Amino acid sequence: MASPAPVTLRCPKCATLLAALPPPGAGLYWTHCPSCQYPVPVIHPRDPSPLFTWEVYPNLAPVGALPEWTGPRMQRFTFRLLLVTTALLLLLSGLAVSAGMGALPARTYSVGGSVVTSPASGAASQPVGGALVQVSGEGGFHASTSTAPDGSFTIAGVPSGEITINVSAPGFAPVEESLFDSPVYAAPTSGSGNLSISLSPGSTGQGTYLAVSEFTSLEALVATLWSGAALLLIGALVSGIGGWKDSRGDRPAFGVAGGAAAALSGFLLPELGVTTILPLGALLSALVATLGIVAFVVAASRLASRTPPLGPTERGL
């Protein structure tokens, strides 16, 4: 049995010509214009080309509620979402570049604090005088000092970057802490000028190591910022181009790509460690990821609702 010939339609909104297979019976069904997504009724042709049934016999036009036409409204919504995500991604990229530039100048810091005993049950901590404090920094820096009777110590001229502090005292297990100081990021957040190091009774073989910072060097910090800025810039370009292309020609596939790029950038930023350095990084990356997901879902729903044009075989060519 031969397949039915396609019906030629004209979109009543934008006058685009399209083709669709006729309904199986005397009824009708709805398709969407591939150009503007306006709903177009498909009925059997009863007149010669180039006129169409609802143009020659208006009384034969389908009666009933017209399906909601959300194409342009959802298209504008997708574009605005991607416009906002692009702006946020560019802002985050600029903040990452600025932080990377701010971390480059060489600076020195003073490392200080107090060494006390670990609080026992029901007893307060006591200062440990005479403890040996050794500080190592980047560029081969090394210095040492002993704590005062009140447990305090200070070592000046420590270069920015990773700082390793080793504290030991007779009768106590040694403690080693890895810190970080720089103009844009410090771990602990209060800096290394007011540390409190607790020693527990033990031997030299029972030492404790504590890594406060996730960055092992100043170069690692700057590399994280540069890579984050590059990722954000790529995400902004894909998001912006996708929104612009979609808005110019109702191409939801570009909106899908733009939303996916924005969401992926927002999710990857914390994994790179950039949100640890930037004060507003976590909040802005979460906002970008959320807006990107919404834009992706809206564009994907528009793409799924489109009626693809018939191919040459289906058109009978």
Q: What are the Cα distances from residue 106, in Å, to 103, 138, 181, 187?
A: 8, 11, 11, 18
Number of DSSP helices (H) and strands (E) in the chain, helices first? 6, 13
Domain ranges, residue 226: 71-101+219-304
Tell whether 309 is covered by a domain. Answer: no
Domain stop point among 216, 243, 260: 216
What is the model's pLDDT at position 241?
92
| Higher pLDDT pick, 91 / 17 | 91
Is 228 in the same domain as 89? Answer: yes
> What is the rounded CA–CA span in Å between residue 76 and residue 93?
26
Tell whether 315 is covered by a domain. Answer: no
Tell whether 88 is covered by a domain. Answer: yes
Is 135 in the same domain as 183? Answer: yes
Sequence-distant (≥ 6) Cβ neighbours of residue 301 within 8 angstroms: 74
pLDDT above 80: residue 193: no
pLDDT above 50: residue 309: no
What is the model's pLDDT at position 46?
55
Tell whether 274 is covered by a domain. Answer: yes
What confidence category does residue 312 fall into, taking pLDDT thresholds of 50, 70 and 90? very low
Is 51 in the same domain as 198? Answer: no
> What is the rounded CA–CA span in Å between residue 317 and residue 309?
14
Is 205 in the same domain as 225? Answer: no
pLDDT above 70: residue 192: no
Tell whether 292 is covered by a domain. Answer: yes
Is 141 in the same domain as 289? Answer: no
What confidence category does residue 103 fall into, taking pLDDT thresholds of 50, 70 and 90? confident
Is 86 in the same domain as 224? Answer: yes
Tell whether 1 is covered by a domain. Answer: no
Tell whether 310 is covered by a domain. Answer: no
What confidence category does residue 292 fall into, taking pLDDT thresholds of 50, 70 and 90? very high
pTM above 0.75, yes or no: no
Query: What is the mean predicted confidence (pLDDT) over 11-38?
Result: 74
Is 114 in the same domain as 198? Answer: yes
Tell whether 316 is covered by a domain. Answer: no
Say which CATH number the domain at 146 has: 2.60.40.10
Q: How far apart are the first and last CA of the chain?
A: 19
What is the model's pLDDT at position 195?
84
Looking at the chain, the whole-number percentage of residues with pLDDT higher than 70 is: 79
pLDDT tens-place string over residues 148-177? 999 889 998 989 888 899 999 888 889 988
Which residue's entry shows tokens 């049934």? 53
What is the model's pLDDT at position 1?
54
Sort 143 into a burial class: Cβ within 10 Å, 0-12 / 13-18 / 19+.
Answer: middle
> What is the rounded CA–CA span in Å between residue 292 and residue 268?
13
Looking at the chain, the whole-number percentage of residues with pLDDT higher than 90 is: 21
Is 23 in the same domain as 112? Answer: no
Is 110 in the same domain as 172? Answer: yes
Number of domains in the chain: 3
Is 166 in the same domain as 248? Answer: no
Q: How many CB atoms lie within 10 A of CB 261?
A: 26
Is 205 in the same domain as 233? Answer: no
What confidence category does residue 287 fall into, taking pLDDT thresholds of 50, 70 and 90? very high
Is 197 in the same domain as 241? Answer: no
